[in-house]
Chains A and B, each alone.
Chain A
Amino acid sequence: MPQKFILLVEDNPDDEALTLRALSKNKVANGVVVARDGAEAVDFLFGTGAHAGRDARDLPEIVLLDLKLPKLDGFEVLRRIRADDRTKMLPVVVLTSSKEERDVVQSYRDGCNSYVRKPVNFDEFVDAARQLGLYWLLLNEGPPR
């Protein structure tokens, strides 16, 4: 049985580093796969492009998805995940800087499971990461594989 893992979709290296740091502080850093733009995230999930040959049935427990991304933005990635039978039940948490109403509305409309704003305060960020890990990796019962 494959290892449980998280897919983090994040283009900003600072945010990537901080997110990984926040996750590792909560002992959930092992098993984080990082995709640095929307296209790579899609390729990873469906085993196409640079990730051709990857077993697309091996899905993450959760996708942490930034909205502002190069190539494909977060909404588009979310829509593709929801449009495909293999991934349409995959839990997706939008993790982004903004809490503009239209971003929130659009994310839920496209089918995200949760919307979390990255706090400026790193202590709060660490707390958020802790709660996310606790909830999605331990508490939450994911869709059947």
Chain B
Amino acid sequence: MLSSAGWDIWSPAVSGNDVSGRTIRRAALIFVPLALAVLGLTYLLYAGQANAIRSIAQSTEDRALDLARQRVTLTVGSVVSDASYLAEQDLLQTLLADGGTEALFHLGSEYRAFARHREFVDQIRFIDSSGREIVRVNRKGGDAELVPADQLQNKADRYYTKETLKLDRGQAFVSPIDLNMELGEIEQPLKPTIRIGVPIFDAYGNKRGIIVVNYLAQRILDRIKVLTTGAAGIWFVNSDGDWLLGPTPDDAFSFMYPERKGRSFANAYPDVWRQMQASPQSGRLTDDTGRFTYVRADAVPDQTAESATPPHWFLVIHASDEFTAAQTSDLRRQFGAAAAVLLLLVAAVSAGLATYQIHRQDSERQIRLNEARFRAVTETASDAIVSADRNGDIRYFNPGAERIFGYNEEEAVGRPLTLLMPERFREAHAAGLQRYLSSRESKVIGKTIELVGRDRNGREFPIDLALASSEVERDIFFTAIIRDITARAEAERHLRASEARFRDLLESAPDAVLITDDHGVIQLVNAQTELLFGYRREELIGQKIEMLIPQRYRGNHVGYRDGYVSAARTRPMGAGLELYGRRKDGSEFPVSIGLSPTRTDHGLTVFCDVRDITDQRANESKIQDLNRRLQLDNAELAAVNKELEAFSYSVSHDLRAPLRAIDGFSQALIEDAGPLLNKEHHSHLNRVRQAAQRMGLLIDDLIKLARVTRADVKIDEVDLTALAQQITTGLQDSVPERQAEIVVAPGLRTKGDARLLLVALDNLLSNSWKFTAPRSPARIEFGKTKVDGKPTFFVRDNGVGFDMSHAGKMFGAFQRFHDAREFSGTGIGLATVQRIVHKHGGRIWAESQPGNGATFFFTL
């Protein structure tokens, strides 16, 4: 059972679950009920024993109490008998009859003798009916002495005298037990005393006095004490609940001592005391301190006293809980030990039993599992699994074999293996089988070989065959696992073809292409790689990719490469970085690199596409240079604009003031010194004034040009027709008498800056108005046409025109084509118009012939 194979159940792979856990659970299932039974039985035995011990203790207590009660009763009874005897003595009767001194003396002697023999009698007294002591004998050591007559006292006031004098014949007074007092002090050593009184009657039946015997109650106490059983003593308690014998000597007779007042049984155990009053004869009570057993002891059991209640006492045994427990503690120890030993035994047995059961369960399960597994493997295997016996006959033929060879199991089993191979191999197979059986040598056993199989239809196909032999009890079995590899052979052919295509593609790629493994080792390169880097193919294969990188980047590259491998995806390498390749001759060149990963059976393969971007990089740097320059130019332009603005502001304020002074004071001179000046003087001063005024105009126009130059273009929808009409109306109104034909085409709209376009149109139309002055009627036209397919506006007039050879210069500032005396103007207007057109991204040009009018075209 516990063969080495059987122990396989401990391996998680086989058992698949927690064997020790199951064993523990099983052991617990066995152990718990057994342990409970053992514990139950032990307890029952213990309880029986403990009960027996308790009842023995109780009956012992009962007996002790009964004995004690008898001793109390008998002792008191014997003293009563003594007293009764003394009361009826002849000598006493004689004394009562005669009253002589002699009789008195005799009686004293008699009492002394009596007291000597009764060693517990302490006093014997004869007291007459008036309460006077007549005879008194006191115990003194082992002897007794007669008290002289002069020391006798009257005891009429004593309770025992009074009580006894009330009695009839045959009755006796018994006092409670207390400590004897002598002259008002408790006599030392303590002398517990009980007094017995009996009345005395003379021959005529007259009561003549009493006999009082003091008895040493210590004897009663001692006799009770000796009955103490075990550790629980007997307490002697009087009818008031006071201890006469208590737990300690100090508890006894506490009622006699003022300082110990209240220290009594009745106070210590009030509940118990109360119940004892209710059921006084005997009983057994418990409270939280333990068990109480008690009996009542009467002083005179059968007397029916009429005048005095004879005292009674209780005898009590208090078995405290500790005491009771102590009685059974040994027993508990013994039974506890026995139970522990038994439990250990039970545990051991449970563990053994559980282990055994679990082992057996697992072994059985293992066998079933193995069988099922074998079935599952062979039934679901896509390969053919065929077993054959020593004769080469098929014994097992799985579904895979049915599928591959086309025979079903019933057809195949029992037929020779040669059924599954082409004719030409059968002879060699038979020979090989025989050789193996005789010599156990084979070329095929334990290996996988490629062979040719043959199916039911006679089709031959390539197979992989793995053959194993096994000997079980001298019988040899062969097991063959056969795989139809037709598909694989086909796939290999495809693979070779596709690999060839891949290589063609790789070699013809315009970029260098390298393939590395996940450690950066170069696996493959194409021809372009050789050209680009100057290495031959065999110098690269097997080397780290870092050999193609400038020395200074190699250290970091290894880290980047590892990073890429851990999160590989297709992406350009080193985004935002400038990458460089390094040729064999050490020269470097800028590259862009694309990476794309492919997972293969051998790990990660990375395709690297490397492109020489020397030219591209050069272009980029040129563009960057241009951009930089453009930015600088822009900044410069902004600065210039700012300066221009400040300049023109200053001009418009400060340059005009001197002109005003020149003009003004010239005029003042003319006015004030007019009569002193000749005509020529006047003419000079007028020229000064004209020059100054002309300079004022020039300044105004220059400021306008500057304003246009630095103005921002605000693009809006602009109605050019409306603007042109507004301007031409103004022109006509300025010189209403001029004959002019002004045509503005309707609906001319464009996008542009309305203010700037107004300035441009104003300049153009004003020019036309000016240069058509000699014409009547003048003709001015504003319209739209198409030039080279582009919408183009024009202003045309029939004015004086100009020579086209000067057309190139006409848009420059201060360029004038006409004599200032003929046509006024500053030569800034067209420069302003051109500025505005250019600001709109348009073009302006003019066509004219001297004397034949001019046309200005512009696009926006």
Question: Is the CB–CB distance between A100 and B663 below 8 Å?
Answer: no
Scan residues 634-676 of chain B and give those whose CB is less than 8 A from a CB of chain A. Answer: 649, 652-654, 656-661, 663-668
Question: Which bracket fits the contact residues of A?
Answer: 10 to 19
Given A120-B692, A120-B693, A121-B696, answer yes or no on A14-B652 (Cβ-Cβ < 8 Å). no
Question: Is the CB–CB distance between B664 and A97 below 8 Å?
Answer: no
Question: Is the CB–CB distance between B696 and A68 below 8 Å?
Answer: no
A139 to chain B, nearest CB (A): 26
Question: Is the CB–CB distance between B656 and A97 below 8 Å?
Answer: yes
Question: Is the CB–CB distance between B660 and A96 below 8 Å?
Answer: no
> Is A99's beta carbon under 8 Å from chain B?
yes
Whose C-beta in chain A lies nearest to the C-beta of B703?
A: A100
> Is A12's beta carbon under 8 Å from chain B?
yes
Question: Is the CB–CB distance between B652 and A97 below 8 Å?
Answer: yes
> What 1/0 flags go to A86-103 for Cβ under 8 Å of B?
000000000011111000
Residues in chain B near residue A55, CB distance under 8 A? none
Residues in chain A near residue B692, CB distance under 8 A? 120
Question: Is the CB–CB distance between B652 and A99 below 8 Å?
Answer: yes
Question: Is the CB–CB distance between A98 and B668 below 8 Å?
Answer: no
Candidates A15, A67, A100; contact of B660 at CB < 8 Å = A15
Candidates B654, B660, B693; contact of A118 at CB < 8 Å = B660
Whose C-beta in chain B lies nearest to the C-beta of A12?
A: B657
Grouping DSSP codes into helix (H, G, I), strand (E, B) and loop, the A interface class, with mixed when no group exceeds half, is loop
Candidates A21, A98, A120, A125; contact of B653 at CB < 8 Å = A98
Complex Cα spacing A68 to B654, Å = 9
B710 to chain A, nearest CB (A): 12
Given A14-B661, A15-B660, answer yes or no on A122-B667 (Cβ-Cβ < 8 Å). yes
Question: Is the CB–CB distance between A14 and B656 below 8 Å?
Answer: no
B552 to chain A, nearest CB (A): 59
Question: Is the CB–CB distance between B652 and A15 below 8 Å?
Answer: no
A107 to chain B, nearest CB (A): 13
Residues in chain A near residue B666, CB distance under 8 A? 122
Question: Is the CB–CB distance between A68 and B660 below 8 Å?
Answer: no
Complex Cα spacing A131 to B58, Å = 151
Question: Is the CB–CB distance between B653 and A18 below 8 Å?
Answer: no
Candidates B665, B696, B703; contact of A14 at CB < 8 Å = B665
Whose C-beta in chain B lies nearest to the C-beta of A96?
A: B653
> Is A85's beta carbon under 8 Å from chain B?
no
Grouping DSSP codes into helix (H, G, I), strand (E, B) and loop, the B interface class, with mixed when no group exceeds half, is helix
Complex Cα spacing A125 to B666, Å = 13
> Is A123's beta carbon under 8 Å from chain B?
yes
Residues in chain B near residue A21, CB distance under 8 A? 664, 668
Given A120-B693, A122-B667, A123-B667, answer yes or no on A18-B652 (Cβ-Cβ < 8 Å). no
Residues in chain A near residue B667, CB distance under 8 A? 122-123
Complex Cα spacing A119 to B653, Å = 12
Candidates B656, B658, B663; contact of A122 at CB < 8 Å = B663
Candidates B654, B663, B668, B695; contact of A97 at CB < 8 Å = B654
Whose C-beta in chain B lies nearest to the C-beta of A117?
A: B656
Question: Is the CB–CB distance between B649 and A98 below 8 Å?
Answer: yes
Whose C-beta in chain A lies nearest to the C-beta of B690?
A: A121
Complex Cα spacing A92 to B468, Å = 124
Question: Is the CB–CB distance between A120 and B668 below 8 Å?
Answer: no
Question: Is the CB–CB distance between B649 and A100 below 8 Å?
Answer: yes
Residues in chain B near residue A68, CB distance under 8 A? 653-654
> What 1/0 flags go to A104-145 for Cβ under 8 Å of B?
000000000000001111110100000000000000000000
Candidates A15, A121, A123; contact of B657 at CB < 8 Å = A15
Scan residues 11-38 of chain A and give those whose CB is less than 8 A from a CB of chain B. Answer: 12, 14-15, 18, 21
Question: Is the CB–CB distance between B665 and A120 below 8 Å?
Answer: no
Whose C-beta in chain B lies nearest to the C-beta of A68?
A: B653
Candidates A15, A67, A120, A123; contact of B696 at CB < 8 Å = A120
Question: Is the CB–CB distance between B653 and A122 below 8 Å?
Answer: no
Scan residues 718-752 of chain B and give those whose CB is less than 8 A from a CB of chain A. Answer: none
Most buried by A among B658, B660, B692: B660
Residues in chain B near residue A119, CB distance under 8 A? 660, 696
B689 to chain A, nearest CB (A): 8
Question: Is the CB–CB distance between B656 and A100 below 8 Å?
Answer: no
Most buried by B among A15, A67, A96, A121: A121
Whose C-beta in chain B lies nearest to the C-beta of A123?
A: B667
Residues in chain B near residue A125, CB distance under 8 A? 660, 664
> What 1/0 flags go to B249-287 for Cβ under 8 Å of A?
000000000000000000000000000000000000000
A6 to chain B, nearest CB (A): 19
B696 to chain A, nearest CB (A): 3
Complex Cα spacing A122 to B724, Å = 34
Residues in chain B near residue A118, CB distance under 8 A? 656, 660
Question: Is the CB–CB distance between B652 and A120 below 8 Å?
Answer: no
Complex Cα spacing A18 to B659, Å = 12
Complex Cα spacing A62 to B664, Å = 24
Scan residues 594-628 of chain B and give those whose CB is less than 8 A from a CB of chain A. Answer: none
Complex Cα spacing A120 to B653, Å = 12
Complex Cα spacing A120 to B664, Å = 8
Question: Is the CB–CB distance between A100 and B664 below 8 Å?
Answer: no
Complex Cα spacing A122 to B659, Å = 10
Candidates A12, A98, A123; contact of B652 at CB < 8 Å = A98
Complex Cα spacing A54 to B800, Å = 66
B112 to chain A, nearest CB (A): 152
Question: Is the CB–CB distance between B653 and A97 below 8 Å?
Answer: yes
Whose C-beta in chain A lies nearest to the C-beta of B651?
A: A98
Residues in chain A near residue B656, CB distance under 8 A? 97-98, 118, 120
Residues in chain B near residue A96, CB distance under 8 A? 653
A24 to chain B, nearest CB (A): 11
A125 to chain B, nearest CB (A): 7
Complex Cα spacing A114 to B661, Å = 23
Candidates B649, B654, B663, B703; contact of A120 at CB < 8 Å = B663
Question: Is the CB–CB distance between B693 and A121 below 8 Å?
Answer: yes
A23 to chain B, nearest CB (A): 13
Candidates A98, A99, A121; contact of B663 at CB < 8 Å = A121
B433 to chain A, nearest CB (A): 117
Residues in chain A near residue B654, CB distance under 8 A? 68, 97
Given A97-B652, A98-B653, A100-B649, answer yes or no on A18-B661 (Cβ-Cβ < 8 Å). yes
Complex Cα spacing A99 to B668, Å = 25
A99 to chain B, nearest CB (A): 7
Residues in chain A near residue B652, CB distance under 8 A? 97-100
B748 to chain A, nearest CB (A): 28
Complex Cα spacing A12 to B658, Å = 10
Residues in chain A near residue B664, CB distance under 8 A? 14, 18, 21, 122, 125
Whose C-beta in chain A lies nearest to the C-beta of B661?
A: A14
Complex Cα spacing A100 to B704, Å = 10
A57 to chain B, nearest CB (A): 34
Question: Is the CB–CB distance between A15 and B661 below 8 Å?
Answer: yes
B705 to chain A, nearest CB (A): 14
Scan residues 48-98 of chain A and give those whose CB is less than 8 A from a CB of chain B. Answer: 67-68, 96-98
Most buried by A among B654, B664, B665: B664
Question: Is the CB–CB distance between A14 and B649 below 8 Å?
Answer: no
Whose C-beta in chain A lies nearest to the C-beta of B662?
A: A120
Residues in chain A near residue B661, CB distance under 8 A? 14-15, 18
Complex Cα spacing A15 to B665, Å = 10
Whose C-beta in chain A lies nearest to the C-beta of B666?
A: A122
Scan residues 667-718 of chain B and give those whose CB is less than 8 A from a CB of chain A. Answer: 667-668, 689, 692-693, 695-696, 703
Name 20 interchain pairs, CB-CB below 8 A, sorted by A.
A12-B657, A14-B657, A15-B657, A15-B661, A18-B664, A67-B653, A68-B654, A96-B653, A98-B656, A99-B652, A100-B652, A118-B656, A118-B660, A120-B656, A120-B659, A120-B663, A120-B692, A121-B693, A121-B696, A122-B660
> Interface residues, chain B, CB within 8 Å of chain A?
649, 652-654, 656-661, 663-668, 689, 692-693, 695-696, 703
The 9 closest A-B pairs by CB, nearest first: A120-B696, A14-B661, A122-B664, A18-B664, A98-B652, A122-B667, A97-B656, A120-B659, A98-B653
Starting from the known contacts A96-B653, A100-B649, A122-B664, 18 additional A-B residue pairs (CB-CB under 8 Å) come to A15-B657, A18-B660, A18-B665, A21-B668, A97-B652, A97-B654, A98-B652, A100-B652, A100-B703, A118-B656, A118-B660, A120-B656, A120-B695, A120-B696, A121-B693, A122-B667, A122-B689, A125-B660
